[in-house]
Chain A
Amino acid sequence: DTAVSQTPKYLVTQMGNDKSIKCEQNLGHDTMYWYKQDSKKFLKIMFSYNNKELIINETVPNRFSPKSPDKAHLNLHINSLELGDSAVYFCASSQGPAANEQFFGPGTRLTVL
């Protein structure tokens, strides 16, 4: 059974389009995260939700909007995609604080043309 799953695995789209990435975890965790990993492998937190409430919101453009319908799901919607949005996006979850082990999904490779 996959612990943290993301769909789609690959996403290729044109500039200006809107796209969504979905994430689900079956670990029973109460905290979920979105990370962006750029071409240099730098891993940066974007958002964190605890029990469906936003607790971390890094300086991410307003074009990115996370949504957590329940504890097990955290989706990421991106409006008006730009070339610089091309990256691998990882969803992760943990039980409680970030200082506990985070379990990462397999990633979604987004390519904006």
Chain B
Amino acid sequence: QQQVKQSPQSLIVQKGGISIINCAYENTAFDYFPWYQQFPGKGPALLIAIRPDVSEKKEGRFTISFNKSAKQFSLHIMDSQPGDSATYFCAASKGGYQKVTFGTGTKLQVIP
């Protein structure tokens, strides 16, 4: 059962544009929502994470928007750059030693 649904599967954005990736979850017990970035041939790396007590978190050009009532969260990449081209995974966890459940990934391509 897919507990974290991610869309779109792929995304092409012009350099300087805004990239938006959306995720929806089902389990209201989730309380930690990270985003991981994966470059080809590499392991995923944590990009930014949010907990449900805030509705938005910003780190540089990357922002997570969180809507607890809708059980949705999204990643916004402002001023997208070719170096941002990678696969992005949203994820969710109940916390503690519970597993992190990953979304299906979004392949982002930023074209010059």
Contacts and interface: CB of A to CB of B under 8 A. Distances in A.
A53 B103 CA distance: 27
A31 B106 CA distance: 27
A50 B97 contact: yes
Contacts of A45: 99-101
B66 interface: no
Contact of B104 (A31, A40, A55, A56): A40
A97 interface: yes
B18 interface: no
Interface string B48-61: 01000000000000
Interface in B67-84: none
Nearest to A109: B41
**Residue of B38, B93, B100 most packed against chain A (CB within 10 A):** B100
B25 interface: no
Contact of B97 (A48, A102, A104): A48
A41 B97 contact: no
B96 A105 contact: no
Interface residues of A, number: 25
B111 interface: no
Interface in B29-52: 31-32, 34, 38, 41-46, 49
Contacts of A4: 43
A92 B36 CA distance: 13
Contact of A48 (B31, B32, B95, B99): B99
Interface string A42-68: 111100101000011010000000000
A97 B34 CA distance: 13
Interface of A: 4, 31, 40-45, 48, 50, 55-56, 58, 90, 92, 97-99, 101-107
Interface of B: 31-32, 34, 38, 41-46, 49, 87, 89, 93-102, 104-105, 107
Given A41-B87, A98-B99, 4 more contacts: A4-B43, A97-B97, A99-B96, A107-B42
Q: Which 6 A-B pairs have the closest CB atoms?
A: A104-B43, A99-B32, A43-B102, A99-B95, A41-B105, A101-B46
